[in-house]
Structures are given as C-alpha cells and as structure tokens.
C-alpha cells in the first residue's frame, strides 16, 4: 500500500529516494543565496552610511587592526585545507581526510580567536567616537565582522562533528556529501570575507 502510494506521489517518494541528493543540493544553494543577500544588504548599508549620511564628510578614515590581516592569512590557509579535504573525499582516502579535517578545524578556530582582539579594539574606538560625539563607521564595521565570525563558528559545528567521527573511525562514504557541503559553505565564507575586507579597506 505504501509502496503504491509512493509510486503515485513522486513528492513522497523523493524524501528517501534518488532525489534526496538533489533536494539537499538545492537546499544548500538556497541557503547560500539567502546568506549572500543578507551580507550584501549589510555591506550596502555600510556604503550608504559611509558616503550618503549627513556626517559622511566629517568621518575619519577607518582603522583596521593588524590582527585582521593575520586572520585573513589564516583563512587562506584554511582554504587550502578545505581543498585538500575535498580531494581526499574524491579519492575516499579517509586517512588523509582525517588529517585535513582537523587542520581545517584548527584553522577555523584560529581565525575566530585572532579576530577577537581586533573586534574588541574596534568596539573600544567606537565608544570613544560616541563619547566625543564624532561620526565614524566602527560600529557598523564591528557588526559586519562579528556577523561573519559568528557564521564561521556556526560552520564549525558540522566540521567538528565530522572530524570527531573521523578520529573515531566512524567516517564512511555516506558522510562524504557532508564534507562537500562544509567545503561549499567555507568557500562561500571566504568570498564574503574578501569582499567585506576589500569594502572596509577602500570605503572605510
């Protein structure tokens, strides 16, 4: 009875059938598009405030702490680790995948931890500007960088789960799709960070 119902209804059949991978890929694509729009709106608000607000002409140039550049270097290293993860997944080399997953995990943590002092410094400058009644972009810049860092932390949850399963010898071919999804998400965050840093550097 259930089998006949599934055959008559392709939507029901797709939940556990051949279309499940397509549904997963579509869901990931929709999520990344929505997230891209979210960051685009945030960057757009920054540009509008920087160039079209009444206080735009009196704003001092935005100072970017040096640790942001260091975190960018760590992010590029993480991009290499992600690439090696996908290569290991392509070859179903789970020994190499374990190695690169943990390196990717460590690079993600390093990226976030290195950015904490920079965020605190920018927040401190923002409060000084507020205290002196000066216009600046430190508040919105802080918010954009923090939002990106929080999405990195969110992406570390599935990476941690995969790395832990790999270390315990429980990672198999059924988990490779999750590896690819993590890789796509991480590459997306890399692009967002480059665009964000480029915007802050040139427009700030």
| Helix %, strand %, coil % of the chain (to 5) | 85, 0, 15
Any idea which of 55-59, 113-117, 119-123, 155-159 has the lowest mean pLDDT?
A: 55-59
Tell me: pLDDT of 17 over 70: no
Topology at the third CATH level for domain 66-203:
1.20.120
pLDDT, residue 169, reads 82
Query: What are the residues whose beta carbons fall under 8 Å from the beta carbon of 198, sequence distance 6 or more?
Result: none
List pLDDT tens digits, range 68-120.
999 999 999 999 999 999 999 999 998 999 999 999 999 999 999 999 999 99
pLDDT for position 10: 44
- pTM above threshold 0.85: no
Integer-rounded Cα radius of gyration of the chain = 21
Domain range annotation of the chain: 66-203
Q: Name the residue with higher pLDDT: 131 or 188.
A: 188
> Angle 121-128-138 (CA atoms, 0-180°, nearest 5)?
55
Q: CA-CA distance, 203 to 62, in Å (whole number)?
A: 8
């Amino acid at each position: 009875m259930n089998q006949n119902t599934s055959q008559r209804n392709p939507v029901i059949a797709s939940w556990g059938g051949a279309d499940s991978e397509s549904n997963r890929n579509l869901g990931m694509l929709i999520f990344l598009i929505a997230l891209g729009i979210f960051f685009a709106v945030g960057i757009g608000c920054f540009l509008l405030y920087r160039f079209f607000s009444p206080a735009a002409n009196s704003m001092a140039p935005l100072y970017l702490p040096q640790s942001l550049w260091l975190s960018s270097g760590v992010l590029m290293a993480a991009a290499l680790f992600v690439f090696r993860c996908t290569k290991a997944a392509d070859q179903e080399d789970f020994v190499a995948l374990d190695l690169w997953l943990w390196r990717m995990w460590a690079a993600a943590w390093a990226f976030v931890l290195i950015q904490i002092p920079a965020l605190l410094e920018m927040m401190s400058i923002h409060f000084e500007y507020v205290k002196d009644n000066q216009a600046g972009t430190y508040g919105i810049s802080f918010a954009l960088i923090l939002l990106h860092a929080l999405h990195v932390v969110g992406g570390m949850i599935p990476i941690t789960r995969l790395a832990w399963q790999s270390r315990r010898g429980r990672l198999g071919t059924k988990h490779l799709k999750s590896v690819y999804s993590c890789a796509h998400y991480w590459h997306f965050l890399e692009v967002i960070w480059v665009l964000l840093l480029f915007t802050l550097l040139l427009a700030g």
